[in-house]
Structure 1
Amino acid sequence: MGKYKAGKETKGKIYEASKALFYEYGYTNTTCLKIAKASGANVGLINYYFGSKGGLGLDVYNEFMSAIKTQVKEKLDAKQIQADLLLQTAVEMRMLNYNMRTNKNFSRFYYDILNENVVYKQHTVMTDYYRNLAESCDLHYSEFEICFITYTNFGASAATNLAYDAGLIDCSSRDFVNASLNQLLSSMRLDQNIIKQVIDESYEIEKQIDLRIDKNFVVL
């Protein structure tokens, strides 16, 4: 039992150290040696517990994406705002877009793991989210179709966000996230009237709640 507890504590220290370093320096500039030094653990234990630095990066990504969903739901409930899963997802995307524009530590990490193909090598929570979203809309997609939607939107998100931040897409932040929502929901083959309603309603909700990603990817 003592050995198990020590191992769990070591794994936790590695994870927390990686979050702090990823947030401060980005994923690309954080090496396994830096994580080992910050956590006080042997560098070989990173692979033992997480498979690779990529496994750590993906765990951090999955954690804050799940936290965003949880926080949005709690904030909607606190405001007594009724929202089905489709509308809630649109609000989450707006919150994500806001933090991409305002938190450079967060956006750097996000770009890093996309550019280094971290999210394309292992399962992410986004596949589960899109599957649940499709089911909530009574869309009976195969596993192939769900994966295709997931990774198509990953690629589109990386490209369009980078182009927007570089000034190659000239529009307001609101127009940008509206276009992103339209792209995702259109790829799911939803009716255009439903898409317009979700975009309009999620914008009104966005004005009523606040969500930010703070130091070490803490979602507040």
Structure 2
Amino acid sequence: MYQKGQDKKEEIYSNSKVLFYNEGYNNTTVKDIAGMSNCPVSLVHYYFNKKDNILSDIYYEFQTGVDAFIAENVPEAVDDILLLHTLNNRIYYDIILRDPQNSRVYYEHLQRQSNYRVVNKYAYETYDKYLKQYDIVISKELYKAYIIMNFGARRECFLEYFKGELKLDAQHMVSEIMGLFPRLLKLDQDYIDSKLLLSLSIFKKLDFASIYSSLKFLI
């Protein structure tokens, strides 16, 4: 892609973040994004095809950014996928849920469907590491089923959370949700619990000023 085209794609992407944050995901149209980016609607479709693909890129950038933050600040977690993944989700949900505009975007998309499709790329890159680290061999069909089950349970839990029907705090929710996939893989329960507790202990000691200044979901 020529530099001019790359610059325009980045402009569309950045403007989408601003619009999602200020107007919400549901209220933002591709036409709105094109208007703010001073380009035809067809160009937005050319670069991203549909609005969900922009959101998918946002999630991927955000979650890989969280992983990079962990690698720099908690290097001992890098080669421990359960610890790394759980820490990622603790930071991920803390940033999303503490900001009403971030929460709105997360919730609006979750009402339509689980996040399985918009975080598909990061999810498979991450869950592949579980199979590698724990030397697990399962069929592709069962592997996919486990991931879909995990996202389905996550969706239902957070829909109830947003409606006020599930009275757990966010970090308790993360602890319960992050235990699901390793349990499906039949990892030892005591081992799973120890990693979840360790991740919470590390999370509480992080420099949150640094987190909030360096990591952004939208803007």
The TM tier, using the shorter chain, reads 0.7 to 0.9
Q: Is the 8 A contact 2:66 2:215 kept in 1?
A: no
C-alpha offsets along residues 114-144 of structure 1, whole Å, 9 cap, x if unaligned? 3334845564321221112222122223332
Q: Does 1:116 align with 2:112?
A: yes
Unaligned runs of 5+ in 1: none
Q: Does 1:184 align with 2:191?
A: no
Match of 1:26 among 24, 27, 46: 24
**Mapping for residues 1-220 of structure 1, pairs under 5 Å:** 4-77=2-75, 84-117=80-113, 119-121=115-117, 123-209=120-206, 210=208, 211-212=211-212, 217=218
Structure 1 position 215, deviation (Å): 5.5
Instruction: Identify the range of structure 1 (86-95 vs 178-187) with the bigger mean alpha-carbon deviation.
Output: 178-187
Q: Is the 8 A contact 1:90 1:181 kept in 2?
A: yes
Quick one: structure 1 residues 49 and 172, their matched pair in 2 at CA, closer, same or farther if it must change by over 3 Å?
closer
Instruction: Identify the range of structure 1 (43-52 vs 23-32) with the bigger mean alpha-carbon deviation.
Output: 23-32
Residue identity in the other structure for 1:170: K
C-alpha offsets along residues 145-177 of structure 1, whole Å, 9 cap, x if unaligned? 332222222222221112123221123444322
With structure 1 as the length reference, what TM-score do the two structures score?
0.85
With structure 2 as the length reference, what TM-score do the two structures score?
0.85
Return the alpha-carbon distance in structure 1 between the equivalents of residues 114 and 203 of structure 2: 30
Residue identity in the other structure for 1:143: K
Q: Is the 8 A contact 2:62 2:215 kept in 1?
A: no
Return the alpha-carbon distance in structure 1 between the equivalents of residues 143 and 20 of structure 2: 29
Aligned length: 214
C-alpha offsets along residues 77-117 of structure 1, whole Å, 9 cap, x if unaligned? 3xx77862221111112212322431222222222333334
Quick one: structure 1 residues 16 and 101, their matched pair in 2 at CA, closer, same or farther if it must change by over 3 Å?
closer
Return the alpha-carbon distance in structure 2 between the equivalents of residues 68 and 36 of structure 1: 29
Residue identity in the other structure for 1:104: P
SS in 2 for 1:124: helix
C-alpha offsets along residues 182-201 of structure 1, whole Å, 9 cap, x if unaligned? 22322232110111111111
Quick one: structure 1 residues 4 and 96, their matched pair in 2 at CA, closer, same or farther if it must change by over 3 Å?
closer
Return the alpha-carbon distance in structure 2 between the equivalents of residues 137 and 208 of structure 1: 28
Q: Is the 8 A contact 1:23 1:216 kept in 2?
A: no
Unaligned runs of 5+ in 2: none
Quick one: structure 1 residues 29 and 82, their matched pair in 2 at CA, closer, same or farther if it must change by over 3 Å?
closer
SS in 2 for 1:186: helix
Quick one: structure 1 residues 195 and 31, their matched pair in 2 at CA, closer, same or farther if it must change by over 3 Å?
same
Return the alpha-carbon distance in structure 2 between the equivalents of residues 108 and 26 of structure 1: 6
Instruction: Identify the range of structure 1 (198-207 vs 180-189) with the bigger mean alpha-carbon deviation.
Output: 180-189
Q: Percent identity?
A: 27
Instruction: Identify the range of structure 1 (129-138 vs 113-122) with the bigger mean alpha-carbon deviation.
Output: 113-122
